[in-house]
Amino acid sequence: MKLALVILTGLIAMTAITGGLMLIANPEGTATGLSLSVLENTPFHSFRIPGIILSLLVGGVNFIALLFMILKQKQQYDLSLAGGLILCGWILAQVIILLVFHWLQILYFTIGLFVILLSQAIKGKWMA
């Protein structure tokens, strides 16, 4: 279970940081195949701010959780739990704000749920 949690947390960190940096570098969204039209009913005029949030919040928290797991720090499962919750919140916010739905949202929301469940199970919250 611990290895699965490390792999999933690493995947989230890597893809969130990479995706966020791509949005920051190309705020028009063309490099990622996104259209600015999806931002029409949002407070954003480009993908730069969402990219910063994705990189720092989603990617950053999961990266720190990954480091804490590798270094076997006491708060490792609290951070991985936070990372899973932040990822799920990010996906829910996308669906609610953008009113756009993509299969990757299902995939990443599911990964976030697995991270939450694994973090709790390993920490012993749901063990008998």
pLDDT in tens, the chain (128 residues): 999 999 999 999 999 999 999 999 999 999 889 999 999 989 999 999 999 999 999 999 999 999 999 999 999 999 999 999 999 999 999 999 988 889 999 999 999 999 999 999 998 865 54
Distance CA 101, CA 94 (A): 8
Residue 128 inside a domain? The answer is no
Q: How many domains does one find in the chain?
A: 1
pTM of the model: 0.92
Name the token pair of 42.
């949002």
Distance CA 44, CA 36 (A): 9
Residue 110 inside a domain? The answer is yes
Closest CA to 81 of 96, 92, 65, 94: 65
Alpha-carbon distance values, 46 to 56, 67, 111, 113 (Å): 17, 31, 27, 29
Question: What pLDDT does 125 receive?
Answer: 66
Residue 61 inside a domain? The answer is yes
- The single residue listed with the structure tokens 């804490």 is 68
Question: What pLDDT does 124 receive?
Answer: 81
Residue 74 inside a domain? The answer is yes
Residue 59 inside a domain? The answer is yes
Name the token pair of 128.
């008998």
Distance CA 111, CA 2 (A): 15
Residue 114 inside a domain? The answer is yes
What domain range includes position 68?
2-123
Distance CA 73, CA 105 (A): 30
